[in-house]
Structure 1
Amino acid sequence: MQTHFSEKDLEKPHIREADRVLRSCVHCGFCNATCPTYQLLGDERDGPRGRIYLMKEMLESPEDDDQITEETRLHLDRCLTCRNCETTCPSGVEYHKLLDIGRAEIERRVPRSTSDKALRFGLRKALVEPGRFKALLALGQTFKPLVPGALKSKMPPAPVDAGKRPDGKRHPRQMLILEGCVQPGLSPNTNAATARVLDRLGVGLTPAPEVGCCGAIDFHLNAQEAGRERARRNIDAWLPHLDAGCEAIIQTASGCGAFVKEYVEVLADDPDYAEKARRVSEAAKDLVEVLGQEDLTTLDVRADQRLAFHCPCTLQHAQKLNGAVETVLTRMGFTLTPVRDGHLCCGSAGTYSITQPELSRQLRDNKMDALEEGKPEVVVTANIGCQTHLAATNRTPVRHWIEIVDEALG
């Protein structure tokens, strides 16, 4: 794709990066074939190729161009950032990088309405602090009939007791774990089950209570500098433990894992943190990457359930781990049912299910139809957002896959 940036424009780092990404696109349109929103809406502007043209036009236009309007943002907002297009693209276009630049630019040029700003600010403040989120969740569950529809469907029943975590200090092998923001409130058993399974494999978890939200929620709601600041704080909290010998930083939510692995990109222009971010990103591992390297026969798993695995977009398209969980579960003896169109997004996509409820609901229902075709007893996934979103259908039970493994330990 040809671009027309001036030499002065190209002195700006974000324009230079946008120019690089734009020039790698060859207009082929393969991306549209696998774009969930294009499949639903059939509008070129709601597919990756159309959005690329919209962003190119905006970035090349002068500051006072009145053609850049709310309509441009509408089509960028509708993007799930599922990155299915990147998996499909034969030219290796790094669409998500261009999207981050485009969203920041439209935010600057066309300010949002007061109500839209308030919603996004509220989501950021409500979701990123585990204690605050737990309190708000409990309040919402108590007064659920009064909660607005888009939020009501996101509120599961009170979670079951997570059970006891083993004392990981007794193991020579130590790893870190990102506890998460909403996961401790919505599914506290996920990390507890992880600790129990790892304990059986001779791995302990070193606590790092200073670590907070990974930064993805802020970053993807266009508060990008706030997301970077959270990344810096986490890096400062994790590095001493890595220096002390911790082998990895485990992520049990693939959305968080994808973002932590991208700290190296997010902080690439920060001279004080670029190298530190590289170390942390290299140490970040999804739970399946850790278990995939272990001798799983020592777990003595009694696998007697039929499972359908929903592979989150952040696992298969961002982290490139498509098939990894399925392989681990198969090694343990679980029966996996086939899943049609497994590459498509379920519609959760972080806060998308709240900011774009209609599209999100359509994608969710389509995904559950596909997951249930093989008559599984349980649907399992690897991301708390997908888990909560799919479970809101109140159909087949939806859980994190490590919980099923934990319950099946002999």
Structure 2
Amino acid sequence: MTRHPEDGRLHTILDALCLGPDDAAVRYLIDAFGGEPVEIHERHVGEPAVLSRHLLFESGGEIVLHDDAVSAVILHLTPTPIAPRGLDVSDWIRGIRKNATFDDVKKVFDVPWRFAAGDRYFVLEAGYARPEFVKYRDQRPGNLQRVVFTADDPKDACRPADEDCRACRDLIVREGDGSFDVDGTVGALIAGVEAGFLKEKSGSVALTDLRLLHASALMERVESQVSCSTCDRVACITLYRDSSPTFGYYPYDAAMRRPLQAIPPIEAWGDAARIAAARDAMRYVDHEPGSWFLVAQHDDLYLKSRYTINSMADDSSLIRLDESERRRYREDGHDYLTDLARRISSSSPHRESSPFHLRNLLRHPDDGRDYSEEVSAAIANHTWLARQKQAAAQRMQTEEAADA
């Protein structure tokens, strides 16, 4: 998209991105928002710490600086505690009205849109524009709440407003001198998981194992990831063998793309208590991609398999192998479980007529256990690696298509 003066004040926003507060373009934007801000919110984000400053204007404008460089500019179109009226978007983006739908915005920008963290956004020549609507109502007039312009691609960076998420903004613990307190931060993350507003991500190192694995020096980088139930950001704490630890917030897809190493056998790094706990827990045994997983706990074997409900939906079942099934598995191995998973699927185990219906421990746990969480933990590393390989293949196809 080419910028012209007749585009309203859009060029004023784009010219300010990545510049400092004393640059002429930023001073011009501040004047356009009505002069000096009425409120300034400051906080340190991540590790290494970035100083984030949100300049709030009574007109409805907002400028976000990271270490004194403009990282985002926000046009608030609906009333806020700071801006009782909100901006008139047509003053800033010619052709867009306050009651614009996403289709209206798309016509004005006239560039392909992309998708990130639940929103669609546009790639402009000097930044990115993300119109934010009332959730799931971007086709209804009057639901456009704000337009956010950022220097960083939204698929790689979190929403500026998420920096003020009350649930996860204060997870980092620091020493009295301001240095990063790893143990205190890990403790805060564990407390958040126990309280229910954070959830550990599959494929990353369990928070309780982070320090043990790092101390073993078996991995170059050891990372735990937790997602916030309020803002959906993923917080990643990473300990390195040969450099300082880091802590950052990422959109879900960006966190999924982070390089996580396979975890070594627990006997190589765990203490006695952790090794004993692993022996008592379910453990991965075997799997057929896209079809089934076999996990074991003590002398029991459990088969988790996919089945089709209809052309639009599928689900999983989990059965404990009985003695005859265990014997057949010992005799015929992997192929027998593939056949058993096929028979489970064809029997429609979600129906009461299926011989596997009452055996499905995900629907009918025989002792009140949450089998789903236990099995997920046992197979987490394998499912994560599969997703990584799939994502890598998709990226390669995209790059090959672009080169062609």
Structure with bigger helix share is 1
TM over 0.5: no
Q: TM-score, normalised by structure 1?
A: 0.25
Structure with bigger strand share is 2
Bigger Cα Rg: 2
Q: TM-score, normalised by structure 2?
A: 0.26
Greater relative contact order structure (CA < 8 Å, 6+ sep): 1
